[in-house]
């Protein structure tokens, strides 16, 4: 079949890209884990050493504990928001969905700074509590702080995927259940939630892996006894030749791939596709007055909680001096002036890099999702695992790998090595954000019924035409979600870019904030730049929501009131 | 670059000075210094030498060293510019620096006891820095503390949980601080002092800037920092101040030309400019505030700015031995991490426990002859219940219990201002934040106390305090939540809270919920 060979070509091309941009650079770094540091001979002794060390065992359990609890807390934040906004007629659903997405776009270290100011040991909340009630709460002490910051930062992964899934649930399923007498919690537990499972699992797996691998947040909160910080600290302090950092990297990769595999096992053998796509999601219903009050209370409480970092950042950006006080001493616009003078270039670079990276993520994302779910090409799951494994590669390791691999690779017409050309930052961002786009594409495609494609093909459409006219349009919501997720998180990526920025003229926004935040007088200006990032991506998110809603309205037969 | 500039041209109407590089060209500088420091220097240099364009690349010191090692085959950098002399030693030994001649005037050979330039001519000092203690005035006032001015002060129990520091393995400047104390006090004494100080740590930050940041925001009260962090924070308006302890070293911050630099001539010009009086005076910019090495520049310094060329007490006591420091660089870093960074919770608990024990002994002596109010629970109130759970601490059982008892003597109602009462000895110990387990209570046989005016009970005999409930005991009706951090007095904080009836600390044992 000629079409099939076309798919083969695409698969081979993507595989080559992934091998060249992910496997080879990472292998260059990770091979060290299996080498005797003295002789260079192959050995497994480094792993034995790892598990003999009490510190590393403790780090491992801490990482695991923090990841699991973060998933639970993130679910507790995301589930009510997703359910209330998709299930009921609720004013401002689109706004809530957009606001709920905003935490993801704040660089974790900026979020941690703002959270310390609000929830820290001597932050606003604790200073007020102590003054008026005589006690304080250890929100940010040790692992608590990591869990809080991570849950607030990453819950949008669950929210966005779960909302997309809930919207795609076929109304007829729900109606069938209601006809058979199911309602209330039972309906939710037995019908709605299981049907939304692909989105939820996709989101929860992402949260788990991100938290497990995340470096910036624990480091900024000065929590060292977790795996990713240990890897980073070993590499950065003891030296590039120390094998233990690489051993931890290998363990991070293996563990992440394992947890993804478990989530695949969990999903296997279940068919989540819904035949009818015209229904526009679940039937929405009106809330009773009491229910309305409750729903608003829940939503407002959650939004207040998740927007705390932004409130803190805003106060910081407008404040003069903020030291051991519930609020800044005074307010000024000076920070924005200082920011604007020195950072336009960062903003432009960010738009450019993240835009290219997100576009370059969605296209292979769709291709891989289609290859995995719709073809029988040999090694298709390998492709998926490979792309997803990028999640498990600490940014610093990828950065070092790129420096090593591409240093001697001169780019024609540019006249310098790829490693110091700005495109290398885009490549790193693309690879690091590909898994996000891929998960979103997979979830979107999983919900497109095969029957629709078969119908198209039996009517004589070629495969390419089927993809073009049937599959991709039906996936549009998921694709946009994937694009925005990739774009927004790429815009605030720091760990890989910090290794790869070859000149401050090529630096993206997050690097600019990092630079500002390294000086006492630059905190306000850094916060102002952070606000610019928040506003930029917020605008992008609102537009996306608008597009999704309009798209839905044109396709849907309208709400049944 | 072309591609991106095309793409950017439409967006960035007023791009940076990328296109303005003139004939003499671009000087690429790898530096660990922040933008706000390099910015004014860059502006001053480009004003004085319009033919050059400075390209600043900000990397952490260790990342910068690694970057230079990675790109050595095809070097694109001209200058390496950072604080830690050790990093320059590493680069010099790795044959990554160029040996150049720098012409300058009026720069002395030494600052304090330290030679300014590399004797072999590979790198040069351009400013000096000392290490000391910085504090947040509002924070100390709220906690009723005096600023610590000597390392010795930081070991005192009242600073428990109030001190922040970075780890030497992550920050070149912190490494110098650790090394300075080790060289000043000797290896054994120095480490002992570090461990006592570390017992008072609130946190070990990942970046060296995390320390001034934490002090500025009031996250902790005192920080061990390099001097310019203190000066520039103060200059930015934060309510903070800084002091040099007696044992400190003035160490030059350095600059060097990278080997095979594409623009070696420009690099030399930049270094020479830095050493001119104009270049030196830029160091006094409020955002920079580093000690110039040209003695004449101090005439322009603001009021109260220290002058090491006149005030010979700064940095005079320690003769910093850079070879010794370089030789044991990794050892000191690893030891600090293994003993302090990764074991901070244990270390804090241990230091708190030892102090609790000492305090108890001291108080017992003091309470002798004080009368009934100072006495503890009656000895007939039962034996301690040691059948309870295993202590949660990883520490030795004895230490653990001693800690509990040491704590219990200072039990009392929550609230501020308990310092200076009765047998309390006026100790005011800092918060011990931890997540308490609810619902477990602690037994004592004490009568209810009516208010802060009632003198606290004296310490019970060893082993008293935790016991099985006896007849006549009433269950504590409620629990007052843990008091404010400022009022929690013991290094081993009361985990849950105080019983409002008997004012006993509700500890964590199941047997302890009766009054």
Per-residue three-class SS string for A342-405: HHHHHHHHHHHHHHHHHHHHHHHHHHHHHHHHHCCCCCHHHHHHHHHHHHHCCHHHHHHHHHHH
B18, pLDDT greater than 80: no
Find, in chain B, the residue whose alpha carbon is nearest to that of A350: B8
What are the pLDDT digits (tens) for B435-489? 434 333 333 333 333 333 333 333 333 333 334 444 445 555 445 444 444 334 4
Question: What percent of chain B has a predicted confidence (pLDDT) above 70?
Answer: 65
| Cβ separation B36–A504 shorter than 8 A | no
pTM: 0.69
What does the pLDDT read at residue B316? 64
Flag if B12 and A417 touch (Cβ within 8 Å). no
Stretch (H or E) spanning A295 = helix A289-306
DSSP A268: T
To test the contact with chain B by mutation, choose from A520, A521, A536 the residue with the greatest count of B C-beta atoms within 10 A, namely A520
pLDDT band at B415 (very low <50, low <70, confident <90, very high): very low
Residue from B433, B479, B496 to probe the interface with A (highest A Cβ count within 10 Å): B433
Most A CBs within 10 Å: which of B59, B163, B217, as the mutation test of the A interface? Answer: B217
The C-alpha atoms of residue A106 and residue A108 are separated, in whole angstroms, by 6
A275, part of any domain: no
Q: What is the pLDDT of residue B456?
A: 38
Contact present, B414 and B487 (Cβ < 8 Å): yes
Instruction: Take residue A452 and report the two structure tokens written for it.
Output: 């629709």
- What percentage of chain B has pLDDT greater than the value 90? 10
Whether B99 shows a pLDDT value over 60: the answer reads: yes
A237 interfacial to chain B (CB closer than 8 Å): yes
CB B349 within 8 A of CB B400: no
Q: How far is B76 from chain A (nearest CA, A)?
A: 9
Give the closest residue to A192 by CA, choosing from A215, A162, A151: A162
Say how many C-beta atoms besides its own lie within 10 A of residue A446's C-beta: 23
| Higher per-residue confidence, B368 vs A100 | A100
User: What's residue B302's pLDDT?
Assistant: 79
Q: Is the pLDDT of residue B496 over 60?
A: no
- Which whole-number Å values give the CA distances from B387 to A66, A422, B383, B506, B507, in the listed order? 32, 66, 11, 17, 15
pLDDT tens by residue, A76-121: 999 888 888 888 887 777 777 777 777 876 776 678 888 888 888 8
- Note whether A236 contacts B: Cβ–Cβ < 8 A: yes
Query: Closest approach of chain B CAs to the CA of A534, in angstroms?
Result: 20
Sheet arrangement for strand B480-481: B480-481, B497-498, B505-506
pLDDT-wise least confident of B11-15, B98-102, B175-179, B328-332: B11-15
Looking at the complex, does the CB of residue A116 fall below 8 Å from at least one CB of chain B? Answer: yes
Residues B55 and B266: their CA atoms lie apart, in Å, by 12
H or E segment and range at residue A92 = none
Sorting pLDDT into bands at 50, 70 and 90, what band is B412? very low
Q: What is the mean pLDDT of residues B219-244?
A: 88
**DSSP letter string, B27-54:** EEEEESS-HHHHHHHHHHHHHH-TTEEE
Cβ-based neighbour number of residue B438 at 10 Å: 13
Give the separation between CA A361 and CA A482, rounded to whole angstroms. 8
HEC profile for A465-478?
HHHHHHHHHHCHHH
Mean pLDDT calculated for residue range A360-365: 88
User: Domain containing A290 — which CATH number?
Assistant: 1.10.3720.10
| More confident call, A484 vs B490 | A484
pLDDT-based confidence at residue B79 (cuts at 50, 70, 90): very high
- Mean predicted confidence (pLDDT) in A433-445: 83
Q: Which tops the pLDDT comparison, B125 or A287?
A: B125
What pLDDT is stored for residue B394 in this prediction? Answer: 38
Instruction: Work out the average pLDDT over A43-50.
Output: 84
Q: Please judge whether B484 and A130 are an interchain contact, meaning their C-beta atoms are less than 8 angstroms apart.
A: yes
Which among B4, B71, B205 is the nearest to A422, CB-wise? B4
CB contact under 8 A, B63 and A499: yes
* Over residues A180-203, mean pLDDT: 82
pLDDT at B234 exceeding the cut of 90: no
Confidence of residue A1 (pLDDT cuts 50, 70, 90): very low
Domain total of chain A: 1
Cα B80 to Cα A308: distance, rounded to the nearest angstrom: 40
Which residues from chain B sit within 8 angstroms of residue A320, using beta carbons?
Answer: 237
Q: What is the mean pLDDT of residues B357-371?
A: 67
Chain mean pLDDT for chain B: 71
Residue B370 Cα to chain centre, angstroms:
41
pLDDT, position A72 = 95
Q: Is residue A261 part of a domain?
A: no
Interface test with B, best of A222, A223, A525 (most B CBs within 10 A): A222
pLDDT reading at B414 higher than 50: no
Please check the confidence at residue A277 and state whether its pLDDT lies above 60. Answer: no
Least confident of A29-33, B211-215, B218-222, B298-302: A29-33
How many CB atoms are located within 10 Å of the residue A270 CB? 10
- Is residue A29 over pLDDT 80? no
* Angle (nearest 5°) at CA A331 between A330 and A335: 125
- Is A6 a domain residue? no
Least confident of A370-384, B131-145, B338-352: A370-384
Q: What is the pLDDT of residue A6?
A: 76
A407 touches chain B (CB under 8 A): yes
Q: What is the reported pLDDT for A270? A: 58
Encode pLDDT of B185-231 as tens digits.
Answer: 889 999 999 999 999 998 888 777 889 988 998 888 999 988 888 88
Average pLDDT over residues B223-251: 86
B161: nearest CA in chain A? Answer: A121
pLDDT of the residue at A273: 57
Residue A335 pLDDT more than 90?
no
- Backbone CA torsion sign across A77, A79, A80, A86: positive
B73 interaction partners in chain A (CB closer than 8 Å):
407-408
Tokens read off for B407: 């704590």
User: Which residues of A fall within a CB distance of 8 Å from B237?
Assistant: 320-321
Mean residue pLDDT of chain A comes to: 80
Instruction: Kindly state whether residue A417 falls inside one of the protein's structural domains.
Output: no
Q: Is the pLDDT of residue B248 over 90?
A: no
Domain range for residue A119?
Answer: 62-221+280-326
Which of A493, A345, A331 has its CA nearest to residue A425? Answer: A493
- Looking from the CA of B435 toward its CB, the CA atoms found within 13 Å total 7
Indicate whether A157 belongs to any domain: yes
> Is residue A163 one of the residues assigned to a domain?
yes
The better pLDDT of the pair A277, B229 is held by B229
CA distance, residue B379 to nearest chain A CA (Å)? 33
Domain assignment present for residue A468? The answer is no
Domains of chain B, first to last: 23-129+251-308 (3.40.190.10), 131-245+316-454 (3.40.190.10)
A306 found inside a domain: yes
Q: Is the pLDDT of residue A23 over 70?
A: yes
What pLDDT band is residue A237 in, cutting at 50, 70 and 90? low
A192: closest CA among A216, A231, A154, A165? A165
């Amino acid at each position: 079949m000629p079409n099939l060979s076309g798919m083969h070509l695409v698969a081979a091309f993507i595989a080559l890209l992934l091998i060249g941009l992910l496997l080879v650079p990472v292998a260059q770094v990770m091979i060290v884990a299996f080498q005797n540091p003295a002789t260079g001979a192959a050995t497994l002794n480094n792993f034995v050493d790892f598990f003999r060390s009490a510190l590393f065992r403790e780090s491992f359990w801490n990482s695991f504990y923090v990841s699991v609890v973060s998933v639970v807390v993130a679910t507790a934040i995301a589930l009510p928001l997703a359910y209330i906004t998709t299930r009921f007629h609720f004013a401002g659903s689109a706004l809530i969905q957009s606001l709920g997405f905003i935490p993801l776009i704040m660089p974790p270290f900026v979020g941690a700074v703002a959270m310390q100011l609000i929830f820290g040991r001597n932050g606003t909340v604790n200073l007020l509590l102590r003054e008026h009630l005589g006690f304080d709460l250890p929100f940010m002490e040790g692992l608590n702080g990591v869990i809080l910051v991570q849950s607030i930062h990453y819950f949008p992964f669950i929210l966005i995927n779960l909302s997309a899934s809930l919207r795609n649930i076929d109304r007829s399923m729900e109606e069938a259940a209601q006809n058979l007498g199911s309602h209330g919690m039972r309906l939710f537990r037995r019908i709605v939630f299981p049907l939304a499972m692909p989105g939820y699992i996709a989101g929860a797996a992402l949260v788990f892996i991100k938290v497990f691998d995340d470096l910036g947040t624990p480091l900024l909160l000065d929590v060292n006894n977790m795996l990713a910080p240990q890897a980073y600290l070993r590499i950065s302090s003891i030296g590039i030749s120390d094998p233990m950092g690489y051993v931890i990297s290998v363990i991070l990769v293996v563990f992440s791939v394992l947890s993804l595999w478990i989530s695949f096992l969990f999903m296997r053998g279940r068919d989540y596709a819904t035949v009818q796509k015209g229904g526009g999601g679940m039937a929405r219903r009106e809330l009773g007055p009491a229910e309305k009050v409750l729903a608003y209370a829940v939503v407002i409480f959650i939004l207040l909680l998740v927007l705390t970092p932004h409130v803190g950042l805003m106060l910081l950006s407008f404040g003069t001096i903020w030291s051991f006080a519930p609020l800044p001493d005074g307010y000024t616009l000076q920070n924005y002036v200082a920011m604007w003078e020195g950072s336009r270039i960062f903003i432009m670079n960010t738009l450019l890099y993240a835009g290219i990276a997100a576009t370059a993520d969605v296209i292979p994302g769709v291709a891989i999702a289609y290859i995995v779910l719709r073809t029988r090409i040999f090694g298709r799951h390998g492709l998926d695992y490979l792309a997803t494994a990028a999640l498990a590669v600490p940014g610093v390791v990828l950065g070092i790998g790129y420096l090593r691999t591409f240093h001697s690779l001169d780019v024609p017409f540019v006249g310098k090595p790829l490693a110091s050309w700005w495109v290398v930052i885009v490549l790193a961002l693309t690879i690091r954000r590909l898994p996000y786009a891929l998960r979103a594409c997979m979830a979107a495609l999983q919900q497109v019924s095969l029957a629709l494609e078969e119908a198209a093909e039996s009517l004589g459409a070629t495969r390419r035409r089927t993809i073009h006219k049937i599959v991709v349009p039906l996936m549009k919501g998921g694709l946009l979600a994937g694009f925005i997720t990739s774009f927004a998180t790429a815009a605030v990526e720091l760990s890989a870019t910090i290794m790869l920025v070859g000149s401050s003229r090529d630096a993206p926004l997050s690097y600019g904030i990092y630079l500002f935040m390294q000086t006492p007088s630059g905190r306000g200006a850094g916060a102002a730049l952070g606000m610019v990032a928040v506003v930029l991506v917020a605008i992008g998110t609102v537009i996306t929501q608008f597009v999704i809603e309009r798209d839905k309205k044109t396709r849907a037969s309208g709400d049944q009131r | 670059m072309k591609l991106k500039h095309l793409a950017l041209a439409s967006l960035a109407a007023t791009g940076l000075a990328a296109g303005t590089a003139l004939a003499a060209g671009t000087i690429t500088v790898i530096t660990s210094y922040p933008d706000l420091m390099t910015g004014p220097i860059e502006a001053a240099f480009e004003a004085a030498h319009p033919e050059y364009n400075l390209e600043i690349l900000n990397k952490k010191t260790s990342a910068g060293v690694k970057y230079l090692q990675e790109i050595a085959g095809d070097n694109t950098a001209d200058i390496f510019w950072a604080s830690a002399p050790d990093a320059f030693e590493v680069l010099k030994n790795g044959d990554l620096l160029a040996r150049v001649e720098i012409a300058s005037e009026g720069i002395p050979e030494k600052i304090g006891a330290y030679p300014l330039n590399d004797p072999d001519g590979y790198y040069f000092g351009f400013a000096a820095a000392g290490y000391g203690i910085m504090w947040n005035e509002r924070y100390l006032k709220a906690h009723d503390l005096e600023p610590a001015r000597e390392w010795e002060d930081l070991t005192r129990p009242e600073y428990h949980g109030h001190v922040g520091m970075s780890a030497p393995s992550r920050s070149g400047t912190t490494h110098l601080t650790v090394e300075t104390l080790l060289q000043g006090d000797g290896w054994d004494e120095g480490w002992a002092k570090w461990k006592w100080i570390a017992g008072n740590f609130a946190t070990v930050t990942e970046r060296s800037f995390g320390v001034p940041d934490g002090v500025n925001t009031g996250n902790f009260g005192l920080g061990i920092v390099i001097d310019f962090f203190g000066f520039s924070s103060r200059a930015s308006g934060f309510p903070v101040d800084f002091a040099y302890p007696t044992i400190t070293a003035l160490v030059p911050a350095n600059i060097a030309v990278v080997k095979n630099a594409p623009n070696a001539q420009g690099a030399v010009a930049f270094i020479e400019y830095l050493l001119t009086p104009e270049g030196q005076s830029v160091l006094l910019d409020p955002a920079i505030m580093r000690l110039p090495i040209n003695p004449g520049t101090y005439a322009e310094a603001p009021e109260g700015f220290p002058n090491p060329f006149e005030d010979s007490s700064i940095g005079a006591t320690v003769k910093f031995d850079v070879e010794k420091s370089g030789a044991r660089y990794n050892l000191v870093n690893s030891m600090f991490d293994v003993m302090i960074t990764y074991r901070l919770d244990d270390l804090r608990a241990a230091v708190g426990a030892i102090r609790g024990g000492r305090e108890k002994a001291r108080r017992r002596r003091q309470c002798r002859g004080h009368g009934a109010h100072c006495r503890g629970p009656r000895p007939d109130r039962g034996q301690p219940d040691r059948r309870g759970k295993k202590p949660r601490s990883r520490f030795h059982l004895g230490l653990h219990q001693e800690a509990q008892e040491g704590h219990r003597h200072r039990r009392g109602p929550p609230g501020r201002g308990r310092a200076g009462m009765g047998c309390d000895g006026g100790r005011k110990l800092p918060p011990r934040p931890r997540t308490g387990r609810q619902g477990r209570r602690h037994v004592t046989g004490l009568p209810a106390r009516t208010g802060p005016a009632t003198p606290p009970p004296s310490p019970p005999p060893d082993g008293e305090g935790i016991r099985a409930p006896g007849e006549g005991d009433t269950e504590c009706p409620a629990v007052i939540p843990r008091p404010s951090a400022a009022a929690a007095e013991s290094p081993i904080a009361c985990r849950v809270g105080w019983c409002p009836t008997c004012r006993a600390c509700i500890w964590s044992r199941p047997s302890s919920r009766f009054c």
